[in-house]
Structure 1
Amino acid sequence: MKKMIGAVAGVAAMLMAGSALAADSVTLQLKWVTQAQFDGYYVAKAKGYYDEAGLDVTLKPGGPDIAPEQVIAGGGADVIVDWIAAALSARDKGLPLVNIAQPFAHSGLMLTCLKSSGIKTSEDFKGKTLGVWFFGNELPFYAWMKQLGLPTEGGADGVTVIKQAFNVDPLLQKQADCISTMNYNEYNQVLEAGIPADDLVVFKYDDVGVSLLEDGLYVMEDSLKDPAFVDKMAKFVKASMKGFDYAAANPEEAAEIILDNDDTGAQTMEHQVSMAKEIAKLTEGSDGTLDMGKYEQSVKILLDAGVISKEPEGAYTTAVTDKAKAM
């Protein structure tokens, strides 16, 4: 009897091992640190959606010195989360990135200014100091400044740009009149620091006509030549969007999952819940399909600003999301 039980256990172990080996591995490089901005991916992993799809997914947090484009170029990821400005700029320079899905249907990028700086409209930017994120995040800003006809080298008729770390210190310490913020993160940090909303002037990139697609999923073009890779990415996108939908409906649970995965201990429940609720607004109605109208708007802005030198060809594919929807 013991031998039979041992044999059954051995077979079960072999089956489990075979199942584990059968899982397709996927490494995703995130654009920033572990936070609710990426709750769809963390929820999909925690709730077993990736497992159900036969995927073994590794989520790699980003940071201020991590450029997703460089990571995937070096073979450190299969797919990355990136903004279209950075992705198309990289493609224009020879890195063949392709958008396979667009989980974020809306932009959360804003420029947040102190009323005490005297800024009421964009006409008041002249002579002011503006905090800007880099590593690709500066591209929408420069597109906007070019549209406004404002030099970015300083002076009375231009703006002075400071390289902003991924925090709100320049505004709190009065080093800048305005800083870059996301509606789901840094803006709330400003409020949490004690500056009331009535003391702020906010410019949403959506509202000022330079809205660019954010947080899309990008892969290397050559990878798409493999039907098995396309199939794997379709499963990944479908499971990830299921994660975003669950997070939108359960922001508190999503925030708990984020905290469970935050190795730094820097995140707080209150802030992550707030972020999860704002992220739900950005992914609302999205199944990952790229909105061609917004894609074309983004391309036009980047072309007009000189961020890219020519109309991109082959910079997106619907093959992955088409397959995901058919699953």
Structure 2
Amino acid sequence: MKVKKTLIRALAPLLALGLLTAACTGSDDATDEPEFEPISEVSLQLQWFTQAQFAGYYAAQALGFYEDVGLDVEILEGGVDIVPASVLDSGAAEFAVSWVPRGLVPREEGANITNIAQVFQRSATLQVSFVDSGISGVSDLEGRTVGNWGFGNEFELLAGLRKNGLDPDSDVQLVQQNFDMLALIDGQIDAAQAMIYNEYAQVLETENPATGELFQPEDLNVINWNDVGTAMLQDALWADADRLDDDPAYRDAAVRFVEASLRGWIHCRDNPAECVQIVLDNVPTLGESHQTWQMNEISALIWPSPLGAGIMDPDLWAQTVEVATGEGILASAPTDGAYRTDIATEAVANLREAGIDVVGDGWQRVTVELLPGGE
């Protein structure tokens, strides 16, 4: 599939050559030469290891969507010790994927970065318990042992407790949890933190000793912070704010990059099995059934995007900032320029003009069969 506008961009060097030839022959059309040399090579810093959480970017790379807009994109894998916002601010990458709070904290500390596309429209963070624990809502966490990962992942939980009249310091026993669900499965904690696309699936990939079969969704209760009203925005695309203001070529590259990236996510929405295979081709550590589950749930975080994919919902931004300041993540609300919508709006307009669905109202989850260990 070729997008009309992106095809024109891909032909830009030939058009420029034609203009140069016209200038040499005395044509008046020489005044139409571009004012800057387009950027062709950029890198994207991910915030974690290769998995379907980033399938849209891998798809855009593998299927030539970046190439269609004249970009050669290097995808940089993340890890435990990698802070995408810092990599971006240092100039080691042109763009980065980061949760909103994890971008705002470095920004408050002086990194002049800005959110240019809010890809995930919902939070993926849950608090998970077994049905027989009787924890069906936040108020039921009182007096319970509640796991969380720390490292800035706990604030939706803390805000949710306070919103329901519970003091995190005295009404619950908070314990640091490993990035797995073993403490919940072994009964060491009553409720565990989980991402719906990752740790929640890990429980469903584990054998229930009482039945000899895998645990099922009906064995679990889930507190979803989107329903509680303390969810915080997660995966977004970030760029260098100074360069966007001062370098027209960089801003142009940002629009092209967001457009092709969103096209990748749209392709994954409509062709999930193909995108899972693209992720598997990049040798992730998690297996095929787990990646298939993850692809399904990641799409649920993006679609529908009522304002258009990547365009910020100001109410969700305000909620994220309210939790961030209320929990002391940020000293104060971020200054103007922490996010901007012009780049995503332009990218979405290009996709709409090409006849591509950028809202995804008709998307629905599919049923995914998880296998033992996510294989």
Q: TM-score, normalised by structure 1?
A: 0.85
How much has 1:306 moved relative to structure 2?
A: 2.8
Q: Compare 63-72 and 99-108 and name the one that shifted more.
A: 63-72
Find the residue that maps to 1:207 and give its secondary structure.
helix
Tell me the distance in 2 between the aligned counterparts of 1:59 and 1:198: 38
RMSD, matched Cα: 2.4
* Superposed counterparts of 1:210-249, under 5 Å: 210-225=230-245, 226-249=247-270
Q: How many residues align?
A: 304
1:97 equivalent in structure 2: 113
Greater RCO, CA 8 A, separation 6+: 1
1:278 equivalent in structure 2: 297
**Equivalent AA in structure 1 for residue 196 of structure 2:** N
2:20 equivalent in structure 1: none
**Unmatched 5+ stretches in structure 1:** 1-14, 16-20
Tell me the distance in 2 between the aligned counterparts of 1:227 and 1:150: 50
The answer to whether 1:171 aligns with 2:184 is: yes
1:323 equivalent in structure 2: 346
1:41 equivalent in structure 2: 57
Change (3 A) 1:139 1:122: closer
Q: Cα deviations across residues 110-156 of structure 1 (Å, max 9, x unaligned)?
A: 11112343423212223322222344323333333343454444x5x
Tell me the distance in 1 between the aligned counterparts of 2:158 and 2:111: 21
Tell me the distance in 1 between the aligned counterparts of 2:147 and 2:228: 18
Q: TM-score, normalised by structure 2?
A: 0.74
How much has 1:180 moved relative to structure 2?
A: 1.6
Tell me the distance in 2 between the aligned counterparts of 1:179 and 1:66: 25
How much has 1:68 moved relative to structure 2?
A: 2.0
> Among residues 140, 151, 157, which one is paired with 1:141 in the alignment?
157
Contact 2:276 2:295 in 1 (8 A): yes
Change (3 A) 1:90 1:122: same
Tell me the distance in 1 between the aligned counterparts of 2:178 and 2:70: 38
Tell me the distance in 2 between the aligned counterparts of 1:73 and 1:134: 24
Contact 1:92 1:312 in 2 (8 A): yes
1:187 equivalent in structure 2: 200
Contact 2:122 2:301 in 1 (8 A): yes
Q: Cα deviations across residues 141-196 of structure 1 (Å, max 9, x unaligned)?
A: 3333343454444x5x233231x333222222333222221222221111111332
2:173 equivalent in structure 1: 159
2:274 equivalent in structure 1: 253
Q: Cα deviations across residues 287-318 of structure 1 (Å, max 9, x unaligned)?
A: 21111121122222222333222221121112
Change (3 A) 1:267 1:296: same
How much has 1:23 moved relative to structure 2?
A: 6.0
- Aligned residues with identical type, % of pairs: 39
Tell me the distance in 2 between the aligned counterparts of 1:120 and 1:217: 34
